Amino acid sequence: MTAWITCKQVVKAYKIDKREVVALRGIDFEMERGEWVTIVGPSGAGKSSLLNLLGGLDKPTAGQLSVDGIDLLNLKGSALVNYRLREVGFLWQQTLRNLLTGRSSLRNVTLPMMLAGTAPWKRAPRAKELLTAVGLADQMYKRPMMLSGGQQQRVAMAVALANQPKLLLADEPTGELDAKSAAGMVTLLQELREKFGLTILMVTHDPEVAAYADRILTLRDGALGQSLTDDRAATPKLDSQGFIQLPEAVRAQLSGAPRVAVEIRPEGVLLRAEADDIADPNFDGALNDAPPEVQRRGLRGLFGRRAAKSKTATQSQNKVAS
Ligand code: ADP
């Protein structure tokens, strides 16, 4: 059986003057209908490029890419417009990129339906249903600027789902939200996924947000790395000296940080990338300076529980670094 999303040897190269920047270097992955996959990786790794290709906003330079049997390489004209309008919904980090400030929440949600040619009498009831589903039944007539960041992103979610897409692409959707709104947003995503049978591909830097996915993939220098939910990759070995080899996915999260804070939490040990100038009372030194007992007991406990692998990853299982 073919997967719902197929990405085979996908290459994306951009030309700037005479220089070529290769953003994706032969990406291979598949997703099933209804799956939620999160991609993590450092800035410049190619995450947005991949989302843009899957959203039909850009074309791969080489490779094969299909969603729901639709070949995205050969999609043109009205078929391409139709794909962007109906098959896929977008949620961007900048909430206002998703919304028109001069229109009420309701009229923001009816707009994509208008563009897709939905009958006028169907638009408002569907928009109201969606705004109710995102918890904004009482904010429908307000414009975005009268709403909080979290509420704006909820309206954006309703806009993304206006034409009943099967695929939701979310690029750092909680990047501009405070922790409470971010948690509310991912919980909502979970509910909407169930309610509307969505397939979700999300990019995030936030491990707590990433943890809601069924699978976490890492992208680094345009290449997919080990899955954070792959048992073998996520269960690092501890040698007799107390040294531990972190999985690629964890290294990607910590890359570029001058220091790594080691924090003992009830669920295990948290490794957190830290800027040099931030004084943290919980900082116990770099990873190698942590007492061997901490490394052994905490990291083993943390990765050991993850290796128990459940279909829906829990937050604590994935909470390895932020
Ligand atoms: P990420 O989302 O992981 O930060 P991007 O996909 O935005 O990564 O970028 C990957 C690489 O491709 C970077 O080197 C970036 O500078 C380059 N890039 C992305 N978009 C363009 C573009 N439109 N034109 C030229 N280079 C681009």
Average pLDDT, the chain: 81
CB 169 within 8 A of CB 91: yes
Minimum mean pLDDT among 143-147, 179-183, 185-189, 295-299: which range?
Answer: 295-299
10 Å CB burial of residue 278 (0-12, 13-18, 19+) is exposed
Rounded CA-CA distance 163/111 in Å is: 10
| Cβ of 218 below 6 Å from ligand 1 | no
CB 192 within 8 A of CB 184: no
CB atoms within 10 A of CB 79: 12
| Cβ of 20 below 6 Å from ligand 1 | no
Question: Tens digits of per-residue pLDDT, 96-123?
Answer: 778 999 999 999 999 999 999 999 999 9
| Cβ of 49 below 6 Å from ligand 1 | yes
Atom of ligand 1 nearest to the CA of 43: 4
Q: Which of 11, 12, 14, 171 to mutate to test the pocket of ligand 1 (most atoms within 8 A of CB)?
A: 14
* Spacing, Cα 271 to ligand 1 middle (Å): 28
Rounded CA-CA distance 8/140 in Å is: 42
Question: Tens digits of per-residue pLDDT, 237-249?
Answer: 666 666 776 766 6
Higher pLDDT, 278 or 83: 83
Atom of ligand 1 nearest to the CA of 42: 3
Q: State the pLDDT confidence band at 1, using cuts at 50, 70 and 90.
A: low
Sort residue 32 into left (φ over 0), alpha (ψ -120 to 50) or beta: beta
List the structure tokens of 164.
Answer: 């009943």
* Spacing, Cα 88 to ligand 1 middle (Å): 21
CB 261 within 8 A of CB 283: yes
| Cβ of 23 below 6 Å from ligand 1 | yes
* Spacing, Cα 45 to ligand 1 middle (Å): 8
Rounded CA-CA distance 319/322 in Å is: 8
DSSP string, 126-172: HHHHHHHHTT-GGGTTS-GGGS-HHHHHHHHHHHHTTT--SEEEEES
Question: Tens digits of per-residue pLDDT, 55-72?
Answer: 999 999 999 999 999 999
The pTM of this model reads 0.74
* Spacing, Cα 221 to ligand 1 middle (Å): 10
| Cβ of 298 below 6 Å from ligand 1 | no
